Amino acid sequence: MIHSMKKALAVTLMLACSLGAAGCAERIKVENAIPDSRIEGCGVYVKKVGNMPEDFILGMDASSVIAEEQSGVRYYGFSGEEQDVFKTLAESGVNTVRVRVWNDPYDENGRGFGGGNCDIEKAVEIGRRATRYGMEMLIDFHLSDFWADPGKQMAPRAWKDMEIGQKAQAVHDHVSDCLRQLKKAGVKVRMVQIGNETNGALCGEKRWSYIQLLMQAGSKACREVFPDALVALHFANPEKAGSYMDYAGKLSEYGVDYDVFASSYYPYWHGTLDNLAEVLNAVSDAYGKKVMVMETSYAYTDEDSDFSGNTISGESGITKAYPFTVQGQANCVRDVTDAVVNRMKNGIGVFYWEGAWISVGSESWEKNHELWEKYGSGWASSYAAGYDPADAGKYYGGCAVDNQAMFDPDGRPLESLRVFNLMRFGNETELSADAVSDAFLTCDLNGTIALPETVDAIMSDNSRSPIPVKWDATDAELEAMSTGGANTYTIKGEAGGFPTVCRVKVEEVNYLENPGFETGELAPWSIVEFGKADQLYVENKPTDSLSGDWHMHFWSAASGSVDFELSQTVASPAPGTYKFGISIMGGDGGETDIRAFMLVNGEETASVPLKITGYNNWDGALIEGVEIGEGDELTVGIRVKCAGEGNGAWGKIDDAFLNLTVKK
Ligand code: CA
């Protein structure tokens, strides 16, 4: 596999040489400023990002590409032909490629830790290829033998026991040596990053007095080898209030020499874009630094394609500001970029993270596992266990971001990859639905089943809008819903070219609101008092409720003081025949006159007597057969009048219901 790849590469190089009169040093000119005519007909809509500077960094982290290719992954261009993925990136408007460098990502037997086995040799090869297609490079030094992020910042094994002075020298020499190799290979380095997501830790050190020494050492090496390159420091979790100003303050206090204060921004973890702009602007204002988004990405699908679970999927309960679609992914990148260009005073760029990290195969976990282990194309191999036993050692596996790539599982570019070009121009496409929601409907089993005429859609410009839907309910399904009693049904349909479903719940609907007082409020019930009861209120006492926690309570000591009417009015109920019920219990009533009643347009049409006969002896009233016509007003309620005896009449009222029994 490696052999054939090298052969393919050699052919490309020969072609490049024969075409360029000045020889191999000549870069291949890639047409990445797509003329308007080619923007039309794109599969994504992209709203123009205004005011974008010519040299704004539209970046792609492509660290895993070599391991991917070694594992057999092939990449294709928009024409459908197999071509160098870096050519495709350049054609898509990417102008800078980011690559991570680990010191020594191999075990004692030379077996790679995975995650692309990103050593300096791979960075040089990626740098050569990116440079060939006119792109510049950002070199991301993790200063570790494997992943460095807010959760771990382990020193490389070779530096583990060094005291801080020695370690700083080692950082300097490592960065210097790597950058010299890149320079020698003719790689154009635009930016160098000292540490990755260094939230208060770096290279095994947790004291800022030490961390800053390591950063200074790396920065110095960069200034020596690539004096024109920018030095970036990279942090994560912009949503943690105050943390960025805290880091920037420490860096200033120690006089760390750097140009760019960069942040990761993953929309599902890192707060709002408003917050991101605010915290980066604060750093920029206070310390005069350039700012940027160093990593971002978004899912284009819920699906996993390599038998190894993804960090983000439909089931993770995240807030979906964008649907998991190719268009949603493009909109997300566009909006993040717009925030950096137009809402940050010193914003210089955005890098998409690992847009070319895709599945190494579609056959089985076993086959893929072999490739991940052999070529390091998964996030971690089992060989990383010795260095990182707690994480990689337990959870090693494949790609966790294949559903956030900008290439499909076969290596073909998604339309979202065009976003880098399109953001500069914007394009015109007809607004269309990009994702549609399911519909939910609760119907009265004695009422009419009317499926909704629209469903909610997210449009290609990420706006929300109801759109017409066509349901495929069969006559048999419609009949079943009308006559099948209480049940649930799923009806398939189509809206805006997308399949959707309506989940219909058919049940006996209670047309009363707050029927058992469970809101803890009286409304929308009302009380008219004819006596003056000592106590008459909605009470929370589950043991005294017929169901739930709440009920209406009354008690009064004086004779004849319990005399009230509790009622609720339903304005214009659907015409038909109704039944009403309500329950009461109580005692010490003496002579009582208690009645449940129904009023139609203010006239009593039916009533039923009730008795209070002791604690927990609930008496239930049921009035049936009351007909309601078009526009009628229906009031239901209970009149309670007690002479009282002993300590005074008391009682509890609960669980009213009003149901349609026959629809007119
Ligand atoms: Ca996966």
By the 8 A CB rule, do 523 and 460 touch?
no
In the set 68, 69, 136, 197, the catalytic residue is: 197
> What is the Å distance from ligand 1's center to 61 Cα?
18
Q: What is the mean pLDDT of residues 122-135?
A: 98
The pLDDT assigned to 11 comes to 33
108 is catalytic: no
Rounded (10°) angle between helices 208-225 and 243-253: 70
Determine the distance separating the centroid of ligand 1 and the alpha carbon of 314, expressed in angstroms: 13
| pLDDT of 22 | 34
- For residue 583, pLDDT over 50 is answered with yes
Please tell me the distance from the alpha carbon of residue 463 to that of residue 460, in angstroms, as a whole number.
Answer: 7
**Percent of the chain with pLDDT strictly greater than 90:** 86
Q: How confident is the model at residue 87 (pLDDT cuts 50, 70, 90)?
A: very high
Q: What is the pLDDT of residue 40?
A: 53
Find out whether 176 and 217 touch, Cβ atoms under 8 Å.
no
Q: Is 82 a catalytic residue?
A: no
pLDDT band at residue 37 using 50, 70 and 90 as cut-offs: very low
Q: What is the pLDDT of residue 28?
A: 61
C-alpha 322 – ligand 1 centre gap (Å): 20
Q: How high is the pLDDT of residue 23?
A: 33
Q: Beta-carbon neighbour count of residue 605 at 10 Å? A: 15
Q: What pLDDT is stored for residue 447 in this prediction? A: 85
Tokens representing residue 305 in the block = 């394609």
Q: Give the containing element (helix H, strand E) for 434.
A: strand 433-436
Choosing from 68, 295, 415, 477, which is the catalytic residue? 295
Ligand 1 centroid to Cα of residue 456, in Å, is 30
- pLDDT value of position 420: 96
Summarize pLDDT for 217-253 with one digit per residue, the tens.
Answer: 999 999 999 999 999 999 999 999 999 999 999 999 9
Q: Which residue has the tokens 């203010």?
A: 602
CA of 115 to the centre of ligand 1 (A): 13
> What would the pLDDT profile of 541-555 be if each residue is shown by its tens digit?
999 999 999 999 999
Chain position carrying tokens 């040596």? 177
pLDDT at site 524: 97
Work out the pLDDT band at 356, boundaries 50, 70, 90.
Answer: very high
On whether the CB atoms of residues 94 and 421 are closer than 8 A, the answer is: no
Find the range with the poorest average confidence among 12-21, 155-164, 461-470, 622-631. Answer: 12-21
The answer for residues whose C-beta is within 8 angstroms of residue 63's C-beta and 6 or more apart is 98, 99, 100, 115, 116, 118, 122, 126, 140, 354
Tens digit of each residue's pLDDT (9 = 90 or more) over 45-58: 999 999 999 999 99
Check pLDDT > 80 for residue 31.
no
pLDDT value of residue 29: 60
Q: What pLDDT was estimated at residue 19?
A: 34
Least confident of 197-211, 446-460, 610-624, 648-662: 446-460
CA of 354 to the centre of ligand 1 (A): 13
Confidence class for position 383, pLDDT limits 50, 70, 90: very high
The reported pLDDT for the residue numbered 41 is: 60
Residue 448 confidence (pLDDT): 84
- 148 alpha carbon to ligand 1 midpoint, in Å? 20
Comparing 420 with 427, which gets the higher pLDDT?
Answer: 420
Per-residue pLDDT at 449: 86
pLDDT tens track for 263-314: 999 998 999 999 999 999 999 999 999 999 999 999 999 999 999 999 988 7
Mean pLDDT over each residue of the chain, to the nearest integer: 92
State the distance from the centre of ligand 1 to the C-alpha of 288, rounded, in angstroms: 40
Rounded Cα distance between 77 and 407, Å, is 10
**Cα of 299 from ligand 1 centre, angstroms:** 12
Structural contact between residues 64 and 354, judged by C-beta atoms closer than 8 angstroms: yes
